[in-house]
């Protein structure tokens, strides 16, 4: 387990960003930062203002996309069918 105090400022910002994202699971946060769901909740409680934490907690609680086992889709990223692919790192002119 990575100690919460040993996270750099950039890592802390990234954990908060990932926790707010709807499609980023707690498993992904655990894989990248070795923080369990309980530790992420504790970290968010410590890092956010009270009202921000309550808003985040209300948003996350019961959300199936935050838990890998509850997801009903396999692709974690939405891509529009009309979105063009970038080939060879060249952006097509319109």
With 90 as the cut, is the pLDDT of residue 62 above it?
A: no
Q: How far apart are CA 6 and CA 13, in angstroms?
A: 13
Q: Which residue has the higher pLDDT, 3 or 79?
A: 3
| Amino acid 38: pLDDT | 92
Q: What percent of the chain has pLDDT over 70?
A: 63
pLDDT mean over 42-62 = 91
Predicted TM-score (pTM) of the model is 0.66
* Higher-scoring residue by pLDDT: 93, 68: 68
Listing DSSP states for 48-78 in one string gives S-HHHHHHHHHHHTT-GGGSGGG-S-S--S-
């Amino acid at each position: 387990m990575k100690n919460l105090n040993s996270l750099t400022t950039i890592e802390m910002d990234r954990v908060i960003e990932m926790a707010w994202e709807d499609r980023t699971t707690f498993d992904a946060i655990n894989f990248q930062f070795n923080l369990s769901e309980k530790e992420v909740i504790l970290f968010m409680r410590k890092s956010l203002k009270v009202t921000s934490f309550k808003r985040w907690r209300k948003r996350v609680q019961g959300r199936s996309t935050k838990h890998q086992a509850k997801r009903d889709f396999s692709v974690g990223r939405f891509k529009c069918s009309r979105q063009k692919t970038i080939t060879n790192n060249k952006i097509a002119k319109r």
